[in-house]
Amino acid sequence: MEPKLTDLTPPQGFERLVLAEAPEAGLRALICIHSTALGPAAGGCRMWPYAGDAEAVQDVTRLARGMTYKNAMAGLGLGGGKSVIIGDARRDKTPAMMRAFGQAVEALAGSYYTAEDVGISTADMAEAASRTRYAVGLTGGAHGSGDPSPWTAEGVFRCLRVGAARVFGSEDLAGRRVLVQGLGHVGLSLAEKLHGAGAELVVADINQAAVQDARQRLGAASCAPDEIFAPQVDIFAPCALGGVLTEGSAAQLSARLVCGAANNQLATPAVAETLRKRGITYLPDYVVNAGGIISVASEIHRKDDRWRRDRLAGIAERIAEMLARAEAEGRTTTDIADSMVERMLARSRNAKPQHAQA
C-alpha cells in the first residue's frame, strides 16, 4: 500500500512540508523542502523518538533551512530539505518502514533527495532506494558514494586548520588541546585525524566503550558528557547533537576556537555575538560540516572523488574568506556566512524567468 501524503502548512519562507504515513509499515515521517532556488532539495533522513509532532516539525524545518545554507555554501547546485521519521531507531525501525519511506520520497518526483542521518544507515537507505530513485549515499555501483562520514570529518578537519591559522598563527595542531564532544562515525574520524596531527585530545560521549577506545588508541583524556566546558582546552569540536552552545555554556568555554561537525550548534543566533565578544572564533557549522553532503551530491551529479576534493577545498577557502571579513567588519562569522548565502539565493531567484517564479 502506498503511504498517505498530507501537505501541511509550511512556515513562512518554506516551500513544502509533507506528512507521510504508512501505519502498516510503522511509518510516520515529515519531509520538509525549504528551498529549491539553487536546485532540487537534498538533505538526510533522521530517525528520532520525538515527544510529539510539534517537536518533529520544529526539528525538520530547522534542519531543512540549514541544508539550504549548507548546500549553497558548498556550491553544490542543490537546494535544502530534510526528513525525519518519528520513532526509536533501535526499537521501531524495519526494512518495511524504510521501503515505505522510499515510496514517499518517490512521490515527490525528484524535488527532494534523501540520504542517511542520525539513526539511519547506508543499509536503511538501500531499502529506501528499492522504492525510489532519489535515495543517495549508497554503496556499490559506478557512482555510489557510500558512508559520507569520512568526508564530513575531512571537511571539518580542513576548516579547523584554517581556523587555527587565524586564531593561533599556525595551522600546526601539535600540542593543541582539543575537546571532541561525540564519538560517532564523524567525531571518531575527526579525533583520529587530530591525533595524527599531534593534538592532545579530550573526549566525551555517553558511549563509554567509544570513550575507552579513544583513550587506548588515541591517548585521549576524557570527561563526563555534562562536564565538557570544565577542561581547559584550545579548541572545542562539538560533534554530537545541536544546541550545545547556549549563553551559559558560551560564558564557560575556555577554547578560543570552535569547529565541529554537529548541526545547529548555537542554541540561539545571539550566542554567536556572545562568543565574538569573548574573543572566541566560531566556524559556522553548516559550512564546515558540508563534507557529507558533498559526498552525497557527487552521487546525485555523478561526479568522482576529484570533484569531492575540489569542493572540500572550496569550503575551507570560504571559511578563510568569512574569517577575514568578520574581523575587518566587526561582525560574527554566522552573520557573514548567512549574508553570503542570501546573496546567492537572491541572484538565483532574480535570474529565473518570471513565469517560473509564479
Calculate mean pLDDT across residues 107-131. 93
- What's the confidence (pLDDT) of residue 357? 44
Are 245 and 270 in contact by the 8 Å Cβ rule? The answer is: no
Judge whether 186 is annotated as a binding position: yes
User: Could you tell me if 36 and 160 lie in one domain?
Assistant: no
Same domain, yes or no: 47 and 104: yes
User: Is residue 179 located within the same domain as residue 48?
Assistant: no
CATH number at residue 271: 3.40.50.720
Please tell me the distance from the alpha carbon of residue 143 to that of residue 130, in angstroms, as a whole number.
16
Do 330 and 193 lie in a common domain?
Answer: yes
Asked if the model's pLDDT at residue 354 lies above 60, the reply is: no
183 is in an annotated binding site: yes
Domain span at residue 40 reads 4-64+78-129
Q: What is the pLDDT of residue 27?
A: 97
CATH code of 125's domain: 3.40.50.10860
> What is the predicted pLDDT for the residue at 138?
79
pLDDT band at 145 (very low <50, low <70, confident <90, very high): low
Using one digit for the tens of pLDDT, what is the confidence trace for 125-134? 999 999 999 9
Q: Is 243 annotated as a binding residue?
A: no
**Does residue 259 share a domain with residue 115?**
no
More confident residue, 1 or 208: 208
Please tell me whether 195 is known to bind a ligand. Answer: no
Residue 199 lies in a domain: yes
Claim to verify: residue 237 and residue 285 sit in the same structural domain: yes
Q: Are residues 121 and 173 in the same domain?
A: no
The confidence score (pLDDT) of residue 352 equals 60
Give the pLDDT score at 348: 80
Q: How many domains does the chain have?
A: 2
Indicate if 212 and 335 belong to the same structural domain.
yes
Residue 283 to residues 22, 126, 290, 315, 318, Cα–Cα distance (Å): 40, 33, 12, 11, 11
User: pLDDT, tens digit, for every residue of 164-198?
Assistant: 999 999 999 999 999 999 999 899 999 999 999 99
pLDDT of residue 144: 55
Q: Which of the following is catalytic: 70, 82, 93, 193? A: 82
Asked if pLDDT for residue 349 goes beyond 50, the answer is: yes
Q: How confident is the model at residue 350 (pLDDT cuts 50, 70, 90)?
A: confident
| 323 annotated as belonging to a binding site for a ligand | no
Give 98-108 pLDDT, tens digit per residue: 999 999 999 99
> pLDDT-based confidence at 139, cuts 50/70/90?
low
Percent residues over pLDDT 70 in the chain: 95
pLDDT digits 0-9 by tens, 303-341: 988 999 999 999 999 999 999 999 999 999 999 999 999
Per-residue pLDDT at 34 exceeds 60: yes
125 and 189, same domain (yes or no): no
Q: Cα separation of 32 and 63, whole Å?
A: 9
For residue 43, what pLDDT is reported? 93
Domain match, 90 and 208 both: no
Query: What would the mean pLDDT of 154-163 be, rounded to a whole number?
Result: 97
Task: Give yes or no: residues 95 and 188 share one domain.
Answer: no
Is 75 annotated as ligand-binding? Answer: no
pLDDT (0 to 100) of residue 326: 96
- Mean pLDDT over all residues of the chain? 92
- pLDDT, one tens digit per residue, over 263-275 is 889 999 999 999 9
Asked if residue 153 and residue 125 are part of one domain, the reply reads: no
SS (H, E, C) the chain: CCCEEEEECCCCCCCEEEEEEEHHHCEEEEEEEEECCCCCEECCEEEECCCCHHHHHHHHHHHHHHHHHHHHHCCCCCEEEEEEEECCCCCCCCHHHHHHHHHHHHCCCCCEEECECCCCCHHHHHHHHCCCCCECCCCCCCCCCCCCHHHHHHHHHHHHHHHHHHHHCCCCCCCCEEEEECCCHHHHHHHHHHHHCCCEEEEECCCHHHHHHHHHHHCCEECCHHHCCCCCCCEEEECCCCCCECHHHHHHCCCCEECCCCCCCECCCHHHHHHHHCCCEECCHHHHCCHHHHHHHHHHHCCCHHHHHHHHHHHHHHHHHHHHHHHHHCCCHHHHHHHHHHHHHHHHHHHCCHHHHC
pLDDT over 90 at 358, yes or no: no
% of the chain surpassing 90 pLDDT: 83
Q: Is 93 a catalytic residue?
A: no
More confident position, 146 or 52: 52
CB 93 within 8 A of CB 312: no
Average pLDDT over residues 105-134: 94
